Protein backbone atom coordinates (compact mmCIF):
# COMPACT_ATOMS: atom_id res chain seq x y z
CA UNK A 1 0.00 0.00 0.00
CA UNK A 2 2.87 2.38 0.74
CA UNK A 3 4.32 1.96 -2.74
CA UNK A 4 0.95 2.81 -4.27
CA UNK A 5 0.64 5.98 -2.18
CA UNK A 6 4.17 7.02 -3.17
CA UNK A 7 3.38 6.28 -6.79
CA UNK A 8 0.23 8.40 -6.66
CA UNK A 9 2.24 11.31 -5.28
CA UNK A 10 5.04 10.99 -7.84
CA UNK A 11 2.63 10.59 -10.74
CA UNK A 12 0.38 13.47 -9.72
CA UNK A 13 3.57 15.54 -9.65
CA UNK A 14 4.62 14.28 -13.10
CA UNK A 15 1.18 14.88 -14.59
CA UNK A 16 0.99 18.35 -13.10
CA UNK A 17 4.35 19.29 -14.56
CA UNK A 18 3.40 17.88 -17.97
CA UNK A 19 0.08 19.72 -18.13
CA UNK A 20 0.54 22.92 -16.14
CA UNK A 21 4.08 24.24 -16.44
CA UNK A 22 3.47 26.16 -19.68
CA UNK A 23 0.25 27.64 -18.29
CA UNK A 24 2.09 28.60 -15.11
CA UNK A 25 4.90 30.22 -17.09
CA UNK A 26 2.38 32.18 -19.17
CA UNK A 27 -0.21 33.18 -16.57
CA UNK A 28 1.68 33.41 -13.28
CA UNK A 29 5.28 34.10 -14.24
CA UNK A 30 4.15 36.07 -17.29
CA UNK A 31 7.19 34.95 -19.23
CA UNK A 32 7.70 36.14 -22.77
CA UNK A 33 6.44 33.86 -25.53
CA UNK A 34 9.92 32.43 -26.08
CA UNK A 35 10.16 31.18 -22.49
CA UNK A 36 6.68 29.73 -21.97
CA UNK A 37 7.74 26.21 -22.94
CA UNK A 38 11.03 26.37 -21.09
CA UNK A 39 9.47 25.45 -17.75
CA UNK A 40 8.46 22.09 -19.16
CA UNK A 41 11.74 21.80 -21.07
CA UNK A 42 13.71 22.25 -17.82
CA UNK A 43 11.53 19.65 -16.14
CA UNK A 44 11.85 17.16 -19.01
CA UNK A 45 15.60 17.62 -19.41
CA UNK A 46 16.31 16.98 -15.74
CA UNK A 47 13.86 14.10 -15.57
CA UNK A 48 15.47 12.36 -18.54
CA UNK A 49 18.98 13.04 -17.20
CA UNK A 50 17.98 11.77 -13.78
CA UNK A 51 16.66 8.54 -15.25
CA UNK A 52 20.03 7.88 -16.89
CA UNK A 53 22.01 8.87 -13.80
CA UNK A 54 19.64 6.90 -11.57
CA UNK A 55 21.14 3.63 -12.81
CA UNK A 56 24.29 4.52 -10.89
CA UNK A 57 22.65 6.36 -7.96
CA UNK A 58 20.16 3.66 -6.94
CA UNK A 59 22.73 0.86 -6.36
CA UNK A 60 25.08 3.29 -4.62
CA UNK A 61 22.61 4.96 -2.23
CA UNK A 62 19.64 2.62 -2.21
CA UNK A 63 16.10 2.97 -3.46
CA UNK A 64 14.71 4.41 -0.26
CA UNK A 65 17.25 7.22 0.03
CA UNK A 66 16.91 8.12 -3.66
CA UNK A 67 13.11 8.31 -3.31
CA UNK A 68 13.32 10.42 -0.15
CA UNK A 69 15.82 12.85 -1.67
CA UNK A 70 13.74 12.93 -4.85
CA UNK A 71 10.64 13.95 -2.92
CA UNK A 72 12.53 16.65 -1.06
CA UNK A 73 14.10 17.94 -4.27
CA UNK A 74 10.72 18.03 -6.04
CA UNK A 75 9.15 19.90 -3.12
CA UNK A 76 12.03 22.41 -3.09
CA UNK A 77 11.67 22.91 -6.84
CA UNK A 78 7.95 23.60 -6.61
CA UNK A 79 8.48 25.98 -3.69
CA UNK A 80 11.12 27.78 -5.75
CA UNK A 81 8.78 28.16 -8.73
CA UNK A 82 5.84 29.28 -6.57
CA UNK A 83 7.63 31.68 -4.25
CA UNK A 84 9.99 33.15 -6.84
CA UNK A 85 7.69 33.53 -9.85
CA UNK A 86 10.34 34.79 -12.27
CA UNK A 87 11.25 33.11 -15.53
CA UNK A 88 14.65 31.68 -14.66
CA UNK A 89 13.71 30.76 -11.08
CA UNK A 90 10.64 28.89 -12.35
CA UNK A 91 12.69 27.06 -15.00
CA UNK A 92 15.23 26.09 -12.33
CA UNK A 93 12.45 25.03 -9.95
CA UNK A 94 10.74 22.88 -12.57
CA UNK A 95 14.13 21.36 -13.44
CA UNK A 96 14.53 20.42 -9.78
CA UNK A 97 11.11 18.76 -9.88
CA UNK A 98 12.20 16.76 -12.94
CA UNK A 99 15.34 15.57 -11.16
CA UNK A 100 13.26 14.70 -8.10
CA UNK A 101 10.71 12.54 -9.90
CA UNK A 102 13.19 10.96 -12.31
CA UNK A 103 13.92 7.80 -10.34
CA UNK A 104 10.45 7.33 -8.88
CA UNK A 105 8.96 5.22 -11.65
CA UNK A 106 11.98 2.92 -12.14
CA UNK A 107 12.23 2.24 -8.41
CA UNK A 108 8.52 1.73 -7.85
CA UNK A 109 7.91 -0.42 -10.92
CA UNK A 110 10.94 -2.55 -10.11
CA UNK A 111 9.76 -2.96 -6.54
CA UNK A 112 6.21 -3.76 -7.64
CA UNK A 113 7.55 -6.62 -9.78
CA UNK A 114 9.26 -8.11 -6.72
CA UNK A 115 6.44 -8.02 -4.14
CA UNK A 116 6.56 -11.35 -2.28
CA UNK A 117 3.60 -13.64 -2.94
CA UNK A 118 2.46 -11.69 -5.98
CA UNK A 119 3.14 -12.54 -9.60
CA UNK A 120 5.42 -10.02 -11.34
CA UNK A 121 2.71 -9.18 -13.87
CA UNK A 122 0.10 -8.61 -11.17
CA UNK A 123 2.42 -6.31 -9.24
CA UNK A 124 3.27 -4.31 -12.34
CA UNK A 125 -0.37 -4.10 -13.45
CA UNK A 126 -1.46 -2.88 -10.04
CA UNK A 127 1.29 -0.28 -9.91
CA UNK A 128 0.56 0.85 -13.46
CA UNK A 129 -3.16 1.28 -12.74
CA UNK A 130 -2.52 3.61 -9.82
CA UNK A 131 0.34 5.38 -11.59
CA UNK A 132 -1.82 6.24 -14.56
CA UNK A 133 -4.69 7.26 -12.31
CA UNK A 134 -2.41 9.77 -10.58
CA UNK A 135 -0.88 10.99 -13.84
CA UNK A 136 -4.26 11.56 -15.48
CA UNK A 137 -6.46 12.64 -12.56
CA UNK A 138 -3.89 14.83 -10.80
CA UNK A 139 -3.78 17.57 -13.45
CA UNK A 140 -7.59 17.69 -13.58
CA UNK A 141 -7.72 18.14 -9.81
CA UNK A 142 -5.05 20.84 -10.06
CA UNK A 143 -7.24 22.56 -12.66
CA UNK A 144 -10.26 22.50 -10.36
CA UNK A 145 -8.27 23.88 -7.43
CA UNK A 146 -6.67 26.46 -9.69
CA UNK A 147 -10.09 27.60 -10.90
CA UNK A 148 -11.38 27.89 -7.36
CA UNK A 149 -8.30 29.48 -5.77
CA UNK A 150 -5.20 30.08 -7.90
CA UNK A 151 -2.73 28.17 -10.02
CA UNK A 152 0.10 29.06 -7.65
CA UNK A 153 -1.82 27.60 -4.72
CA UNK A 154 -2.77 24.47 -6.68
CA UNK A 155 0.80 23.80 -7.79
CA UNK A 156 1.97 24.59 -4.27
CA UNK A 157 -0.18 21.72 -3.02
CA UNK A 158 1.88 19.40 -5.17
CA UNK A 159 4.88 20.35 -3.03
CA UNK A 160 2.94 18.93 -0.09
CA UNK A 161 2.44 15.69 -2.02
CA UNK A 162 6.18 15.57 -2.68
CA UNK A 163 6.84 15.89 1.06
CA UNK A 164 4.32 13.11 1.71
CA UNK A 165 6.11 10.89 -0.82
CA UNK A 166 9.45 11.65 0.88
CA UNK A 167 8.00 10.77 4.29
CA UNK A 168 6.32 7.57 3.05
CA UNK A 169 9.48 6.56 1.19
CA UNK A 170 11.48 6.76 4.40
CA UNK A 171 9.21 4.10 5.88
CA UNK A 172 8.19 2.05 2.83
CA UNK A 173 8.93 -1.61 2.28
CA UNK A 174 10.65 -1.61 -1.08
CA UNK A 175 11.54 -4.95 -2.58
pLDDT at 60 (0 to 100): 96
pLDDT at 24 (0 to 100): 98
> Once rounded to an integer, what is the mean pLDDT over residues 133-155?
97
Phi, psi of 117 (to 5 degrees): 80, 5
> Once rounded to an integer, what is the mean pLDDT over residues 26-50?
96
pLDDT at 14 (0 to 100): 97
CA 173 to CA 25: how far, in whole Å? 37
> Once rounded to an integer, what is the mean pLDDT over residues 4-22?
97
Q: Centre a 10 Å sphere on the Cβ of residue 171 and count the other Cβ atoms it contains.
A: 9
Tens-place pLDDT, residues 110-127:
999 999 988 989 999 999
> Once rounded to an integer, what is the mean pLDDT over residues 28-47?
96
Q: Say whether pLDDT at 6 is over 90.
A: yes
pLDDT at 175 (0 to 100): 79
CA 73 to CA 97: how far, in whole Å? 6
pLDDT at 136 (0 to 100): 96
CA 69 to CA 170: how far, in whole Å? 10
Tens-place pLDDT, residues 72-98:
999 999 999 999 999 999 999 999 999
- Nearest in space to 69 (alpha carbons), one of 36, 107, 23: 107
pLDDT at 1 (0 to 100): 75
Q: Say whether pLDDT at 173 is over 90.
A: no
Confidence tier at 174 by pLDDT (50, 70, 90): confident
> Once rounded to an integer, what is the mean pLDDT over residues 98-109?
96
> Once rounded to an integer, what is the mean pLDDT over residues 13-32?
97
Summary mean pLDDT of the chain: 96
Amino acid sequence: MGMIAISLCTNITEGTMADWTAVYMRDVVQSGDFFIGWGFAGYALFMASGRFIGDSLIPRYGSRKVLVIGGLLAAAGIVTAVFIPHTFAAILGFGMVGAGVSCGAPILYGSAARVPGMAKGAGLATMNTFSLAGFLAGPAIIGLISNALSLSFAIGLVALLALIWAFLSSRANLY
